[in-house]
Every structure is written in structure tokens, then in C-alpha cells.
Amino acid sequence: MPRRFLPALLLAGAALLALLPAANAPAAPAAAPAAGPEGLPRAALAGPAAPAVLPADDPEPGFPSADDVARARAEADAKAADATAVEARLAAARDELDKAGQAAEQAVEAYNGALVRLGRAQEASRAAAERSTAAEAAHAEAADRAAGLVAEIYRQGASPQLSAVNALLGAHGTASLTGQAAAVGTAGAQTRQILDDATGTAKAAARAAEEARTAEGAARTAAGTVRTAKEQAQQRVADQQNRVAEIGRRREALLAELATARNTTVELERQRQEALDALAARAAEEAARRAQAEAEAAAAAQAARHHAAPQREGAAWSAGGSEAALAFARSVVGLPYIWGGEGPQGYDCSGLTMMAWRRGGKQLTHFAADQYAESTPVGYAQLRPGDLVFWTKTGRAADIYHVAIYLGDDQMIEAPRPGAAIKQASLWIMGRPDFYARP
């Protein structure tokens, strides 16, 4: 059997050996395509060639390339970065506006306080002037009375001494002589006393009037200085509001571009930003609420360490007065903040609380610091509707710059700042209040 296959194996080996030199030989030039009938290459006669394989980033015409997609993505990212930068600028501008608003409120409350002091100084000056006029009239009347006494004495003789001698000589008996001498002495003493008293009163009244005029002048100068500061603060707030409006317009334009890039809508982007702002505001309010709770816990712990008596309830709360004050405050929600406003077109913070509590039957001064001094301090745990809440930058009651009226449930009504309307807001919107008081 093996012998039958031997010739075939030998032929296969010989063919294999013949192929080895050809593999090592240099490549021959490509042969021209074999011509077919009429001179056409055979490949052309074989039908269309197979399509060439294109690169992965070079799709068929009419579709975006990878570069197109990358550019679009980069543009969207750039617009998002621009919008984020503008949002940061807008947030910073809003913070500056809030600070400018607080500075303006401090200025207007200082101005209100200066006007209150000026009014008191003018009233004191008028009262002192009236006292001085009355004292001068009393002095003139006393002088007339003294002159009458002296004239009467002179009518009795050539001189006071002669009149006295005549009176003594005309006496009948020892008793009469003693009485006449006493009468002459009494008349002279009365004259001197009348003149001395009237002169002293007139001098004191004149001094008081001069001091009152000096105080009025100083108060008027202080009011002028504060008025200048108020006008500067007003200008600062107006400039800042213009800046915020400009940034706001730029923000709207970028939000429109961002919405196009993200295939959303401007309204959707605006709602998203407002939601982010609301979240930030709630976080700030929660921080203020925690600060209030921590302050109360610290005060309770200190009271326990010192065995302090429980805090008194403070002034009696009037439901009727509170309801009337709150009804007025609710009725003016939406009106604008007006510098020094007492209504009816608008109010500032202390003007609002003053007019509200005027409806509630209490007279308060148009000055936030004085309103605290005119009320009874209470704690946060004692707050009732109608109570007043106050803020200060220094922790001193004398430097209070903002006041609002408490509604209950950690809500209040306030005239917030220039350029804003009277509104209901969270008690914590400006951080933890520094003082609470009941009118």
C-alpha cells in the first residue's frame, strides 16, 4: 500500500521545493490588467469595485462629523460657563445691593433719629424761650412793684432815711415805735428780695434759652450732616440698582443662549435658577434659625448655672391692639419703600411700624432705635403677633437700623429697603434678629 502513494509524495515535495526560490526573489512589477474585448480591462468587465472603507470620523456627506460634534459641545460648555460666570456676577451684585440697602437703611434711620432730636431740641428751645419771656415779664413786674414801694417811701420824705426817721418820730409810745421801725425794715427787705428774685429768674431763663438755642443749632447741624449721608446712600443704592439691572439683562441674554445650547427654554432655565436661589435662601434662613436655637440654649444653660429666675413674660399683650396693628400692616403690603415715609403712598421700616401701632393705640417715634426703647424687651420664645423685631450691625440697641412687625409662625411684614415693596417674609430672611420688643 505505501508503494502506491510514494510517487505522489515525491511529486508534492518537488513542487514545494520549486516554490521556495520564488518567495525570496524581488517583487516583479505589477502586470497591466489583462485586456478584454474592445480593449477594456477585465476588472471593468467584472462589475463595480467594492467601496473603500472611510475613516470612522469622516461619515457620509450630510451628517455632522466628529469635529462638528466636538465644536457644538465646546460651544455649549462655553455658554454654560458664561452663564455660570454671569450668575456669579449677578449674585455678587445682589449681595452688594443688599449691603447698600442696609447702609441706606442705616442712613435713613440715622436721619430719622436726627430729625427726632432736632424736633425735641426745637420744642425745648420754644419752651425755654417762653420761660425766658415769662421771667422777663415777671422781672419787669417786680421792678414796677419795687419802684412803687420806693416811690411811696419817697413821698413820705426827701429820702428813704428821712422817711424812716419821720416814721420813727411819729410813733406814739414804745409799741408804736417798734412797729414803725419793723415796717420800714420790712419794706426795704421786700423791695430787695423782689428785685433779687426777679433778676435771678431772668438770668436763669436767659441762660436756659441760650442753651436751648445752642442745642437746636447743634441738632440742626447734625441733621444736615445726616441728610448729606442719606443722599449719598440713596445715590449708592440707585447706582447699584442700575448695575444689577444691567447684569440682569446680560443674564437673560445668556440664559437664552444656554437654553438653545441645551435644547431647553429660557423659562425653564429661569425656573431652574430661581429654584437654586430659593434653596440658597432656605439654607440661610435655616442657619439663622439654628443660630437662634443655639443662642436660646446657651442662655438657658447660663441661667441654670447661675440659678437665675425664669424670665418674666414682659409687657401685657393686647390682642385688640395687635390685631389692629397687623390689619394695617397687611393693608399696605405691596406699597413702595419711601425714605422717611409715613404714608399713605409708602413707608420706610420705622414709619410702617409707627403707623401700624398708631392704629393699635400706641404712640411710637419714627425712629427704630427709639421704638425699641419705647417698648418692653421680650425673648424669641415670648414673641406674639404684633411684636416688633429689630436688627443692628453692632449688637447695640442704639445702632438699630431695621424694624419689622411679627405676624406669627416665623413670619413678619417689613418695608425692606429702597427699591423694594412692603412684603410678608420669613423672620430669618435677614439672619437672626438682634432684639425683640412689645409696644
Q: Kindly report whether the global pTM for this prediction surpasses the value 0.85.
A: no
Contacts of 407 (CB under 8 A, 6+ apart): 326, 385, 413, 424
* Extents of the domains making up the chain: 69-262, 316-438
The pLDDT score that the predictor gives to residue 75 is 81
With beta carbons less than 8 A apart as the criterion, state whether 438 and 361 touch.
no
The pLDDT score that the predictor gives to residue 152 is 67
The pLDDT score that the predictor gives to residue 353 is 97
Q: Which three cell numbers stand for residue 212?
A: 436751648
CA distance 433 to 412: 11
Residue 438 Rama label (left phi>0; alpha psi -120 to 50; beta)? beta
pLDDT averaged over 10-residue windows placed end to end, the chain, 439 residues = 51 51 46 45 45 51 76 81 77 76 79 82 79 76 71 59 46 48 56 69 75 77 76 76 76 75 72 74 73 69 56 63 95 92 93 96 94 94 94 90 94 90 92 92
CA distance 327 to 321: 10
Work out the angle at residue 291's Cα, subtended by the Cα atoms of residues 285 and 297, and round it to the nearest 5 degrees.
140
* Ramachandran angles phi, psi of 51, nearest 5°: -60, 145
CB atoms closer than 10 angstroms to residue 394: 10
The pLDDT score that the predictor gives to residue 357 is 96
Write down the CATH number for the domain with range 69-262. 1.10.287
The pLDDT score that the predictor gives to residue 439 is 94
User: Residue 220 is inside which H or E element, if any?
Assistant: helix 173-262
Full DSSP string of 191-209: HHHHHHHHHHHHHHHHHHH
CA torsion angle 208 214 215 220 (round to 10): 150
- The CATH topology of domain 316-438 is endopeptidase fold (from Nostoc punctiforme) (3.90.1720)
The pLDDT score that the predictor gives to residue 256 is 78
